Amino acid sequence: MTVLEPLSLDGFVPYPAETAARYRAAGFWTDQTLPEPLFATVARVPGKTAIVAGETSLTYAELGDRILRIAAGLRHLGVGRGDRVVVHLPNIPEFIAFVYAFWELGAIPVFAPAAHRRTEIEHFVEVTEARVYVTVARHDGADLAALAAELKATWPSLEHTVVLDADGGGADLDRLLAHDPLPHERRSLPGDVALLQLSGGTTGQPKLIPHTSETYLHSVRASIPLCGITEDSVQLTAVPLCHSMSVRSPGFLSVLSAGGTVVLAHNGSPDTVFPLIQRHRVTQSSIVPPLLLAWLNSSLKERYDLSSLESLHVGGARLSIEAARRVRPELDVILQQGFGMAEGLVNYNRFDVDEETSVRCQGRPISPGDELLIVDDSGQAVPPGVPGHLLTRGPSTIRGYFRNPEENARSFTPDGFYRTGDIVERDENGYLAVVGRSKDQINRGGEKVAPEEVENLILGHEGVHDVSVVGIPDAILGERVKAFVIPRAEADPATLKLAAIRKFLRDRGLASYKLPDALDVVAEFPQTAVGKVSKRLQRVPQN
């Protein structure tokens, strides 16, 4: 076998050598690449069901075979180690098959949310110099086949597009599957960059988060016991597959290495998922608070047998204590709150915490290697019970965004701590409660929106003199997106109505969850004492 040298990739911020050595010596980082735990399961329980989606069901042997055929087809196209590729798929089995196929080759998938549109996807292709774009022909009314053709014509790096039917399948897939399976073997190293996830961020376009097999699998291995994942687990994935909670916390990587079953759903509404829970005897699901509220408030829960559900993992956004209290009595499951970030750090409440901690806290770090600083505005550590800014460093947390030195100077301290932008309170037992946020970011039910990205696009409207975008409180989503617009003197008011601005943004290819939910046309913005726009005052609900 050829001996592989470490992958060198410009724009990746490495860990200091002594830190990496320490993480390996401690067993946080192991000699494993992302596809290896799955192929160990394929060898162990080939006949077990790995994935269910609609009427499709794949055993581990079938999944392994698909991955290796797709990998062979991609290799035939010239795809190999270190190549960046954009995977832009909804919750279909091909998402999982393609990312494993790319990992098998040592290629680096960008996990693009299916809701993303031209503006975001083009940014990923440009920054990563992607060679391949994989998508579905249509999604939520958008013509992604046309987008694929347009991107290929525009970006010289993009040599191949794979366009699947809306529900997966199709001629492009058949062409790849026609290849004989590649032998499963190591074609990358555990320390190579293996994937690029996205950060909602606060400024401009989404930032790219480079994980290696070492950083990612550390999180997966820690999640498996803490979330109770076993060979008997049947996990329902109802939030987009690209999110950390669907991939690694605990996600399909955990379930597929344990030998359980992943059930995919296109969305998390009760009428979609309750029948799936009943039919497949689902034991666990990871969801965002608005979905939990929808489940709690649905009368359908009496109509379906949900008794197989053992635990619900809830995170991504703030869950109210009132909603948390309802989970056990109304759904008869263990509520496991989690608080994490694609940048790395993950916290879970342990299953045995007392009732108060389970409803008030969002967990404690999953790794003994995680270092947390909770500090006041002047950087001094605060005692337990006092809110402070959370900074973190550890074996799952990146040291920098991909190809983004300016943002890295802002978001990371010189000694490698990531400034999360979250304000947390730690109790005497080390459990964290997320009590606020210092970053200018909107958390719309778990989907993150950077106000500046939306503002920059609205500023391109000919009738707009100035704009400010903020998150306003919302009973279900936690926050919604609101735009305040100061018109130009000559502007036609009809072009500045909410529907018109939403269409304007959609036409520019912005993901729909980032579109303003509300809009006010105003003469001026409220100001802070130092003359800046007071977003705090704009967030206060107006009557």
Per CB under 6 A, 359 contacts ligand AMP: no
In angstroms, the CA 76 to CA 440 distance is 45
Per CB under 6 A, 249 contacts ligand AMP: no
Measured from the CB of residue 63, what is the shortest distance to ligand AMP in angstroms?
26
Per CB under 6 A, 482 contacts ligand AMP: no
Minimum CB distance to ligand AMP smaller for 227 or for 276? 227
In angstroms, the CA 441 to CA 452 distance is 9
* Secondary structure string (H, E, C) spanning 300-322: HHHCCCCCCCCEEEECCCCCCHH
Minimum CB distance to ligand AMP smaller for 161 or for 199? 199
Give the chain's length: 543
Measured from the CB of residue 316, what is the shortest distance to ligand AMP in angstroms?
5
Instruction: Choose which of 38, 341, 450, 483 interacts with ligand AMP (CB under 6 A).
Output: 341
Minimum CB distance to ligand AMP smaller for 88 or for 131? 88
In angstroms, the CA 98 to CA 70 distance is 7
Minimum CB distance to ligand AMP smaller for 84 or for 437? 437
Minimum CB distance to ligand AMP smaller for 250 or for 316? 316
Instruction: Choose which of 62, 104, 422, 453 interacts with ligand AMP (CB under 6 A).
Output: 422
Query: Are 418 and 397 within 8 A, CB to CB?
Result: yes
How far CA 107 is from CA of 4, 102, 103, in Å, comes to 14, 5, 6
Minimum CB distance to ligand AMP smaller for 163 or for 372? 372
Minimum CB distance to ligand AMP smaller for 69 or for 243? 243
Stretch that binds ligand AMP, among 80-88, 112-120, 335-343, 350-358 (CB under 6 A): 335-343
Backbone phi, then psi, for 80, in 5-degree steps? -155, -165
Measured from the CB of residue 478, what is the shortest distance to ligand AMP in angstroms?
8
Per CB under 6 A, 246 contacts ligand AMP: no
Residues in region 440-459 near ligand AMP by CB under 6 A = 443, 448
Minimum CB distance to ligand AMP smaller for 189 or for 372? 372
Per CB under 6 A, 358 contacts ligand AMP: no
The terminus-to-terminus CA distance of the chain in angstroms comes to 70
Neighbours of 88 (CB within 10 A): 26
Per CB under 6 A, 364 contacts ligand AMP: no
Per CB under 6 A, 418 contacts ligand AMP: no
Measured from the CB of residue 233, what is the shortest distance to ligand AMP in angstroms?
22
Site string for ligand AMP, 149-188 (x = CB under 6 A): ----------------------------------------
Instruction: Choose which of 200, 240, 451, 487 interacts with ligand AMP (CB under 6 A).
Output: 200
Per CB under 6 A, 434 contacts ligand AMP: yes
In angstroms, the CA 368 to CA 118 distance is 41
Nearest to 361 by CA among 383, 395, 388, 336: 336
Which residues neighbour 529 within 8 Å (Cβ) at sequence distance 6 or greater? none
Neighbours of 519 (CB within 10 A): 22
Instruction: Choose which of 318, 389, 482, 514 interacts with ligand AMP (CB under 6 A).
Output: 318
In angstroms, the CA 276 to CA 278 distance is 5
Residue 416 — left, alpha, or beta (φ > 0 → left; ψ -120 to 50 → alpha)? left
Per CB under 6 A, 374 contacts ligand AMP: no
Minimum CB distance to ligand AMP smaller for 173 or for 510? 510
Q: CA 67, 37, 314: angle at the middle one, nearest 5?
A: 95
Minimum CB distance to ligand AMP smaller for 358 or for 420? 420
Residue 531 — left, alpha, or beta (φ > 0 → left; ψ -120 to 50 → alpha)? left
Measured from the CB of residue 100, what is the shortest distance to ligand AMP in angstroms?
22
Residue whose entry in the numeric block shows the structure tokens 């009132």: 322
Per CB under 6 A, 398 contacts ligand AMP: no
Residues in region 297-316 near ligand AMP by CB under 6 A = 315-316
Stretch that binds ligand AMP, among 262-270, 338-346, 364-372, 451-459 (CB under 6 A): 338-346
60-87 CB burial, b ≥16 within 10 A, e <16 = bebbbbbbbbbbbbbbeeebeeebbbbb
Measured from the CB of residue 238, what is the shortest distance to ligand AMP in angstroms?
16
Measured from the CB of residue 421, what is the shortest distance to ligand AMP in angstroms?
6
Instruction: Choose which of 100, 274, 339, 418 interacts with ligand AMP (CB under 6 A).
Output: 339
Neighbours of 456 (CB within 10 A): 15
Query: Interhelix angle for 35-44 vs 60-76, to 10°?
Result: 140
In angstroms, the CA 398 to CA 57 distance is 35
- Extended beta strands in 12-171, E state: 49-53, 56-59, 84-88, 108-111, 132-136, 138-139, 142-143, 160-164
Per CB under 6 A, 202 contacts ligand AMP: no
Per CB under 6 A, 362 contacts ligand AMP: yes
Per CB under 6 A, 286 contacts ligand AMP: no
Burial of 134 (0-12, 13-18, 19+ CB in 10 A): buried
Number of residues that bind ligand AMP (CB under 6 A): 19
Measured from the CB of residue 337, what is the shortest distance to ligand AMP in angstroms?
6
Contact residues: ligand AMP, CB under 6 A: 199-200, 244, 315-318, 337, 339-342, 362, 420, 422, 434, 437, 443, 448
